[in-house]
Structure 1
Amino acid sequence: MTIDASHESSAFGFEGQTYYEHRRLRLYDAVVVHASNRLLWRCPKSRLLDHYNDWITSHHLEVGPGSGYYLDHCRFPTDKPELTLLDLNPDPLKFVAHRLRRYNPRCVQADILEPLPDLVGSGFTSIAYNYVMHCLPEPPGGKQIVFKHLREALAPDGVLFGSTVLSQGVKHTPLSRRFNILYQRQGSFHNQHDSVHGLHRALEEHFASHWIEVRGSVALFAARASETTASRLRRASGPR
């Protein structure tokens, strides 16, 4: 497997990246996908998998692939999708590329807090930004800069979708609040100031239309790049 690597990286570099080393990724499905989603954040894996099935396309960019669980279980609209994986940490890229070797994914090592390098490509009809935002440290310009970078890689009729654990504007239980603070102290979460209002504002700044659903402590979202496809977003994101 080959990883295309960009040498551009922000000053925030690998903070928190050690939590995604290979030995921990082997436990990711059990700990995060199955247990934490249901018991802590109260957004079960079935809802997140439906989210993928609703929006994923045959030309897809996955930002921060984690263990690759959702890509492994979702329904691509074709048997041979064009799949690109992007992460700053090479360990998830290697782990997920092996798990999804049937799709022969392309791997790119790059920092989404910086403008995406040309080697990432563009014209993606779907981009997933799933469970990444709450891990990102807050750069001076704010986390909304990531939406600008991802919007530039999206096709005119493309869709960005994802989810994130928020600290403000969502309902936390005493247990989820305790773990959220613990992960912040450990450095694996940087969502102290992340809110539903801030997410709305960031998506509105860079996309023609967007939609947010709050489930437990998680905000699921989708955003269209252009006005011509915004109506499709509204039709597809009706109440569940």
Structure 2
Amino acid sequence: MSIDASPGSSAFGFEGQPYYENRRLRLYDAVVVNASNRLLWRCPKQRLLDHYNEWITSRHLEVGPGSGYYLDHCRFPAGPAELTLLDLNPDPLHFTAHRLRRHSPRCVQADILEPLPDIVGDGFTSVAFNYVLHCLPEPPGGKQVVFKHLRQVLAPGGVLFGSTVLSQGVKHTVLSRRFNLLYQRQGSFHNQHDSVRRLHRTLDEHFDSHWLEVRGSVALFAARAPGPGTPGRPGPAGATHG
């Protein structure tokens, strides 16, 4: 498997990435997908899998694929999938590409905190940004710039969807708050200023419409790029809590 690499990526976005090395990725499904989602963040894997099933299309960009669990278990539309994986860290790319080798995914190494290089491509009808935002360090201009970068590779009417662990505007238990603070001190989380209100405002700035649901300490979202309306279009901005 080969990786298309962007020569211009900086080291800034790599902060926290060493936590996603191969030896940890082998435990990712058990520790994060199953245990942390259910016990800490209270957004079970089935809800996240349903989120993929609702929004994924056959021309898809996966940003920060992790272990590839959701891509491995979700239902792609009928026909062959054109799948691109993007990460600054090569380990998740190798790990997920092997797991999804039946789809022959293309892999791109690039930093989403910077404008995406031409090698990523464009015209994606869906982009997943799942459990990535809370891991991104905060550059001087704000990490919300990633939504601008991802919007630019979407086809007209395409959908960006994903989820993130927030610090503000969500319900934390004593346990989830302690782990959230622990991960922040370790440098694997950078979500100190991430809130429901901030996420709403950012999605509203860059997309035609968006939808947001809060489950435990997690916000799930979907946003439609400007373009012709299609079935499944996110409704007016709003949030639901559960």
Alignment TM-score, normalising by the size of structure 2: 0.95
SS in 1 for 2:91: helix
- The separation in 2 between residues aligned to 1:145 and 1:238, in whole angstroms, is 22
Aligned to 1:33: 33
**Preserved contact between residue 211 and residue 239 of structure 2 (Cα < 8 Å):** no
**How many residues of Structure 1 are paired with residues of Structure 2 in the alignment?**
239
1:148-159 equivalences under 5 Å are 148-159=148-159
- The separation in 2 between residues aligned to 1:162 and 1:229, in whole angstroms, is 20
1:40-189 equivalences under 5 Å are 40-189=40-189
- The separation in 2 between residues aligned to 1:85 and 1:238, in whole angstroms, is 29
Amino acid at match of 1:84: T
1:218-237 equivalences under 5 Å are 218-226=218-226, 228-229=228-229, 232-234=233-235
- The separation in 1 between residues aligned to 2:54 and 2:176, in whole angstroms, is 27
Q: Deviations over 1:4-52 (max 9, x none)?
A: 0001123513211110000000000000000000000000000000000
- The separation in 1 between residues aligned to 2:17 and 2:239, in whole angstroms, is 36
Amino acid at match of 2:212: I
- The separation in 2 between residues aligned to 1:238 and 1:194, in whole angstroms, is 16
Structure 1 stretches of 4+ with a deviation exceeding 3 A read 237-240
Q: Which runs of 5+ in 1 are unaligned?
A: none
How much does 1:131 deviate? 0.1
- The separation in 2 between residues aligned to 1:200 and 1:140, in whole angstroms, is 20
Pick closer, same or farther for the CA change 1:77–1:205 going to 2, 3 Å: same
How much does 1:233 deviate? 1.8
**Preserved contact between residue 85 and residue 106 of structure 2 (Cα < 8 Å):** yes
Q: Which runs of 5+ in 2 are unaligned?
A: none
Amino acid at match of 1:195: S
SS in 2 for 1:13: helix
**Preserved contact between residue 209 and residue 227 of structure 1 (Cα < 8 Å):** no
How much does 1:79 deviate? 4.1
How much does 1:227 deviate? 5.5
Amino acid at match of 2:235: R
Higher helix proportion, which one?
A: 1
- The separation in 2 between residues aligned to 1:79 and 1:33, in whole angstroms, is 27
- The separation in 1 between residues aligned to 2:235 and 2:203, in whole angstroms, is 15
**Preserved contact between residue 156 and residue 227 of structure 2 (Cα < 8 Å):** no
Amino acid at match of 1:53: N
- The separation in 1 between residues aligned to 2:202 and 2:234, in whole angstroms, is 17
**Preserved contact between residue 168 and residue 196 of structure 2 (Cα < 8 Å):** yes
Alignment TM-score, normalising by the size of structure 1: 0.96
- The separation in 1 between residues aligned to 2:194 and 2:10, in whole angstroms, is 20
How much does 1:80 deviate? 1.6
Q: Deviations over 1:161-213 (max 9, x none)?
A: 00000000000000000000000000000000000000001101100100100
**Preserved contact between residue 214 and residue 239 of structure 2 (Cα < 8 Å):** no
